[in-house]
Amino acid sequence: MVYSVILFVVTLIGLIAATITDLKTREVPDWLSYGLICVGLGLNLLFSLIYRDYWFFVNSLAGFVLFLIVALVMFYAGQWGGGDSKVLMGLGALIGLDVRFIRSPFLLSFFINILLIGAVYGLIWSFILAFRNWRNFYKELKKVSHSVKMVRSRMYVIIFAFLMLVLFLFNRVNMFGFLFLALLLMSLLTFYLWIFVKAVEKTCMIKKVEPGKLTEGDWIVKKVMVDGKYICGPKDLGIEKKQIRELVKLYKLGKIKKILIKEGIPFVPSFLVAYVVSLVWGNILFWLV
């Protein structure tokens, strides 16, 4: 009981602190994210020694490894920044994964809730950004939707949707009919959401900043070259402190101007909501199904 209460309090305080900093500065400081990892592994190691039960630490290590894999996938897919990824690893270490499955795997329920709540949260945030920048967003939306790539993609989607409609009409009396109808709706919804997100990204999430205002992990949109030397670019998957210092130096020398960066959505607040929901209601996917 004491073990659960201590981990609950530490996790909640860490998530609240990370949420506040993420909303204020669009980043989570390394001392906080790495602190969550160290505290998670350290506390569980301490409890293993106190109770002479190594499973506390083993479960913590398993939770850390699981969320490390998830974090790397999301980071390299460009969905999360470095701060979001490191916070997730810390949560894995704190909560732990019961590898013996003696108890209900809370960490897995939490992970599913993160995906569901994160998707809704990201969509709501995107709609707010689009509303705030409506004129520019609407112009970009028309531009994106009429681009050659989107016109070609729309043709493929319409063909696929038509095939699903035909299959639905021939199978509407059995269970396969609902599957074909779901695929039809999902293909259309996914395509138009893709256009929407692209327009939001180009008009609301890309901006120019002075090198001195860059923070570690910022995503650079265009490659920066000076005197034939590569400084930074999109392939870096987040700028490093060493690169920022070099950019600041070059900016003061007048060799570069402002840097174009992609400003991501602060996802840590969705982690906090997912954690509270997991504690109160459990796996919301079960409720939806």
- Mean predicted lDDT score pLDDT of the chain: 87
Residue 11 Cα to chain centre, angstroms = 19
Per the structure block, which two tokens stand in for 279? 């504690």
> Please, what is the angle between helix 148-171 and helix 175-204, to 10°?
160
Contacts of 60 (CB under 8 A, 6+ apart): 40, 41, 43, 44, 45, 93, 94, 96
Quickly tell me which residue has 């709501």 as its tokens: 124
Write down the pLDDT at residue 44.
Answer: 94
pLDDT in tens, 74-126: 877 767 777 888 999 999 999 998 887 766 678 888 999 998 898 899 899 99
For residue 56, count other CB atoms closer than 10 A to its CB: 21
d(CA 76, CA 82): 10
Query: Is residue 216 a contact partner of residue 244, using CB atoms and an 8 Å limit?
Result: yes
d(CA 188, CA 202): 22
17 to 4, 12, 24: CA distances (angstroms)? 20, 9, 11
pLDDT in tens, 76-85: 776 777 788 8
- Longest pairwise C-alpha distance within the chain: 72
Please give the model's pTM, rounded to 2 decimal places: 0.80
Q: Where are the alpha helices (DSSP H) in the chain?
A: 2-25, 30-51, 55-76, 82-95, 106-132, 134-145, 148-171, 175-204, 241-252, 268-281, 284-288
- Going from N- to C-terminal start, the domains of the chain cover 2-103, 131-204, 206-262
Sign of the CA dihedral running 145, 149, 151, 155: negative
Query: Is residue 220 a contact partner of residue 260, using CB atoms and an 8 Å limit?
Result: yes
Q: Which of 106-110, 230-234, 260-264 has the lowest mean pLDDT?
A: 260-264
